[in-house]
């Protein structure tokens, strides 16, 4: 990260800090700063998007977008009740109070002291330099999904204008909530490359998530213990996969703790929910803005004292689809219910901006053939029998569902109004058993994760109340109860913590693993010199896609799994790509159909059967370095 990159991120915080002035809710420093990180990133991204649409992508466009965002924030700065210095003085004053004082933020400091070092460590391992300039990934989250996000970011950073066609499938609309990847692309003019941009912006946003989780718990449940415990239960969540760890210990000793051979929260056989940190935050990067923004919206709605705050929550919701569509839907539905529950007369002040601002983006994001991907399907990935569904969720989430229900019905743990407000999130859980909106069934976890996130605070409330009652009674059973609570808590986070430990260690399983060889990195950088609308053919069998990942150029078909997940005809594109690489009969027609300009023949393409002799005769060799060749196609001749 360069000093200019750091300055850019700091100015995003300045923008966000000012924007918080539009909210009349009294916020403290430890609340205003993390909100500023998320909201500032959103506003700078949106103003820069508008600038790029007018003048194209460049360092100047980013500067103009940042200046526009700063100009908007000025009006918010004027509304702030206190200066940052006053807020900082207040924070120190409260920290010096007795530890039992309700205002003392020491539990938050403990929470971030646990989370932030892990974040920094995992991000430091995200991308590494391997032999001969190869790029290596430190975790599956980076090895798989981040290659696609590299392509999304590079599609902005390496094209002069605003071309909203996806780099993963030539000619198709960029129908993806790309906001967080555009935010990463904005850092490229500050002097870093796209892999570093993904890493830096992910870490930047990740630092804000624990404080925002804490704020949500503190503002709704009004107990610091719940506010601190809820984030730990959510971020460390996992099921009963940790039982496999004991099998591994028996087989290989305790050394497996530092060299884990498997994941304990994911296998896509019986474990489908994955750990929220590794499978939903870092891997699915839009959640890095979507999740905290959702929690901010719900907090504003719950604690609102006037229409101004409700309106701010509605506007924030309306801006969400370009960053995370799933969080927008959750914020709209749950936020609307909460507004009616708390301030019915102000419902339109939330709903109108939440729908009106989002409508154009949502309409654009609808898959080209939604009817071809959505289907009704009972029981998600379990066999469907009641016992089977119960076992599936026990294996994936442990005692979490039971404790969640217990919390919603136990008034000593969760007061009635709050229980009524949170209870509808179970409809998300029910929904994943009724339909499959996406081609791959595993994507249903993207809906169930909201049930896990809000439920974590309810479960925390149950555990805190059990501890409170046990310590007050001081009976013979108190120690048993406390031990039981500790065992429950450990069981809820054991699997997720083991997987996070493997990511922090950086040597678990097959990682670090090469995502792009040195030769592929070079061809990806060379592709940046081609026309913005150039179309390449490369192998669809690998997540190593340097032309799109580093060059930002369109390929006929990127990794088949990504194209499949977008709801496109992945099989046809994959087969056509392979046919062109092989030089099969009809290749010239396929080249014309997709408007192919270049053909890549590297190690991956050779494994897919690429015919070097055919392309030596049929096209012009324009690049030949480190085992990778690129041929330019004469489309008129084709």
Do you know the residue count of the chain? 638
Confidence (pTM)? 0.96
Q: For residue 407, what are its two tokens?
A: 């919390």
Rounded distance between C-alpha atoms, residue 278 and residue 122, angstroms: 10
| 412, 465 Cβ separation under 8 angstroms | yes
Q: What is the dihedral of CA 296, 297, 302, 304, to 10 degrees?
A: 100
pLDDT band of 369, cuts 50, 70, 90: low
pLDDT in tens, 239-285: 999 999 999 998 888 888 888 888 999 998 899 999 999 999 998 89
Q: What is the mean pLDDT of residues 302-327?
A: 96
Query: Region 433-440: what's the mean pLDDT?
Result: 91
In the predicted model, is pLDDT for residue 401 greater than 90? yes
Confidence label for 527 from pLDDT (cuts 50, 70 and 90)? very high
pLDDT in tens, 74-92: 999 999 999 999 999 999 9
Task: Let me know how many helices (H) and strands (E) the chain has, helices first.
Answer: 31, 10
Evaluate if residue 402 carries a pLDDT over 90.
yes
Average pLDDT over residues 416-420: 98
Question: Which structure tokens are listed for 175?
Answer: 């129908």
How far is Cα 369 from Cα 390, in angstroms, rounded to an integer?
34
Q: Which long-range contacts (CB under 8 A, 24 or more apart) does 295-300 make?
A: 295/212, 295/213, 295/215, 295/216, 296/35, 296/38, 296/39, 296/212, 297/331, 297/335, 298/216, 298/220, 298/331, 298/334, 298/335, 298/338, 299/215, 299/216, 299/219, 299/220, 300/23, 300/25
Question: What is the per-residue pLDDT for 254?
Answer: 87
Q: Retrieve residue 633's tokens.
A: 């196609």
The pLDDT of residue 173: 87
pLDDT band per the 50, 70, 90 thresholds, residue 371: very low
- Least confident among 324-328, 489-493, 513-517: 513-517
d(Cα 557, Cα 571) in Å, to the nearest integer? 9
Taken in order 442, 323, 543, 166, the sign of the CA dihedral is positive
* Residue-level pLDDT at 475: 76
Mean pLDDT check: name the lowest of 16-25, 288-297, 311-320, 472-481.
472-481
Residue 18 has pLDDT above 60, yes or no: yes
Q: What is the strand order of the sheet 554-555 is part of? A: 554-555, 535-537, 598-601, 628-632, 620-625
CA distances from 363 to 121, 153, 325, 457 (A): 39, 22, 11, 33
What does the block give as tokens for 48?
């820069």
Token pair recorded at residue 541: 């069998």
pLDDT tens for each residue of 169-195: 999 888 899 999 999 999 999 999 999
Per residue in 210-228, pLDDT (tens digit) is 999 999 999 999 999 999 9
Q: With 60 as the cut, is the pLDDT of residue 370 above it?
A: no
Say how far apart CA 305 and CA 26 lie, in whole Å: 10
Q: What is the mean pLDDT of residues 540-550?
A: 90
Q: What pLDDT is attached to residue 161?
A: 82
Query: Average pLDDT, stretch 601-615?
Result: 94
367 confidence band (pLDDT: 50, 70, 90): low
| 453-470: pLDDT as tens digits | 999 999 999 999 999 999
Q: Is the pLDDT of residue 337 over 60?
A: yes
d(CA 633, CA 170): 16
- Split at pLDDT 50, 70, 90, the class of 509 is low
pLDDT in tens, 476-488: 788 899 999 999 9
Instruction: Give the β-pairing of 598-601 and 375-376.
Output: unpaired
Res 200 pLDDT > 70: yes
Write out the two tokens for 603: 């190690």
Percentage of the chain modeled with pLDDT above 90: 82
**Average pLDDT of the residues in 20-49:** 97
DSSP 560-577: HHHHHHTTS-HHHHHHHH
Which position has the higher pLDDT, 502 or 566?
Answer: 502
pLDDT at 163 over 80: yes
Burial track 407-427 (b if 16+ CB lie within 10 A, e otherwise) = bbebeebbeeebbebbbebbe
Q: What pLDDT is stored for residue 340 in this prediction?
A: 96
* Per-chain mean pLDDT for the chain: 93
E-strand ranges in 134-271 read 135-137
% of the chain with per-residue pLDDT over 70? 98
**Residue appearing with tokens 């309409």:** 363
């Amino acid at each position: 990260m360069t000093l200019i990159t750091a300055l850019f991120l700091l100015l995003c915080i300045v923008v966000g800090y000012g924007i918080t002035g539009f909210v009349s809710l009294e916020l403290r420093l430890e609340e205003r700063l993390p909100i500023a990180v998320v909201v500032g990133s959103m506003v700078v991204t949106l103003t820069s998007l508008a600038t790029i649409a007018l003048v194209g992508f460049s360092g100047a466009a980013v500067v103009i977008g940042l200046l526009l965002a700063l100009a908007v924030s000025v009006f918010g700065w004027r509304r702030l009740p206190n200066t940052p210095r006053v807020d900082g003085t207040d924070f120190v004053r409260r920290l010096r109070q007795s530890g039992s004082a309700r205002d003392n933020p020491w539990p938050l400091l403990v929470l971030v002291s646990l989370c932030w070092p892990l974040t920094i460590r995992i991000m430091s391992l995200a991308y590494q330099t391997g032999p001969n300039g190869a790029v290596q990934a430190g975790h599956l989250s980076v090895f798989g999904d981040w290659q696609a996000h590299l392509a999304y970011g590079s599609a902005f950073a390496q094209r002069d204008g605003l071309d909203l066609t996806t780099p993963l499938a030539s000619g198709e609309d960029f129908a993806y909530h790309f906001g967080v990847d555009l935010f990463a692309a904005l850092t490229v003019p500050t002097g870093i490359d796209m892999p570093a941009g993904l890493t830096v912006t992910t870490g930047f946003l990740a630092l804000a998530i624990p404080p925002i989780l804490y704020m949500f718990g503190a503002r709704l449940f009004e107990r610091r213990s719940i506010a601190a415990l809820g984030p730990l239960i959510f971020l460390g969540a996992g099921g009963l996969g940790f039982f496999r760890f004991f099998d591994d210990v028996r087989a290989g000793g305790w050394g497996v703790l530092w060299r884990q051979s498997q994941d304990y929260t994911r296998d896509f056989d019986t474990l489908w929910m994955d750990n929220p940190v590794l499978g939903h935050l870092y891997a699915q990067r839009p959640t890095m803005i979507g999740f905290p923004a959702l929690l901010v919206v719900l907090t504003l709605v719950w604690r609102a004292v006037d229409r101004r705050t409700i309106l701010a929550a509605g506007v924030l919701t309306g801006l969400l689809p370009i960053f995370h569509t799933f969080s927008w839907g959750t914020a709209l539905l749950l936020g609307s219910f909460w507004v009616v529950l708390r301030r019915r007369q102000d419902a339109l002040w939330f709903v109108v901006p939440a729908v009106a601002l989002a409508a154009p983006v949502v309409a654009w994001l609808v898959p080209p053939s939604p009817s071809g991907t959505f289907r009704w399907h009972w029981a998600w990935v379990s066999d469907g029998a009641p016992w089977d569904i119960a076992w599936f969720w026990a294996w994936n989430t442990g005692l979490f569902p039971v404790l969640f229900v217990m919390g919603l019905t136990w008034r000593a743990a969760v007061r009635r109004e709050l229980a009524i407000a949170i209870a509808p999130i179970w409809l998300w859980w029910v929904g994943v058993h009724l339909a499959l909106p996406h081609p791959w069934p595993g994507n249903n976890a993207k809906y169930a994760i909201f049930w896990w996130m809000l439920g974590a605070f309810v479960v925390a409330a149950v555990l805190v109340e059990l501890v409170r009652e046990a310590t007050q009674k001081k009976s013979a059973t108190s120690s048993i109860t406390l031990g039981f609570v500790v065992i429950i808590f450990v069981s809820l986070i054991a699997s997720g913590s083991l997987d996070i430990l493997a990511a922090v260690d950086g040597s678990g399983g097959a990682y670090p693993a090469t995502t792009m060889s040195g030769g592929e990195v070079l061809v990806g950088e060379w592709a940046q010199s081609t026309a913005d609308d150039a179309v390449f053919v490369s192998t669809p069998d690998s997540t190593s896609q340097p032309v799109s990942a580093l060059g930002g150029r369109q390929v006929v078909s990127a990794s088949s799994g990504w194209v499949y997940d977008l709801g496109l005809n992945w099989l046809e594109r994959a087969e056509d790509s392979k046919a062109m690489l092989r030089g099969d009969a009809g290749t010239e027609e396929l080249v014309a159909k997709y408007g192919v300009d270049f053909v890549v023949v590297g190690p991956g393409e050779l494994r897919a059967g690429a015919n070097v002799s055919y392309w030596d005769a049929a096209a012009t060799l324009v690049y030949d370095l480190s085992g990778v060749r690129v041929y330019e196609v004469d489309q008129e001749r084709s």
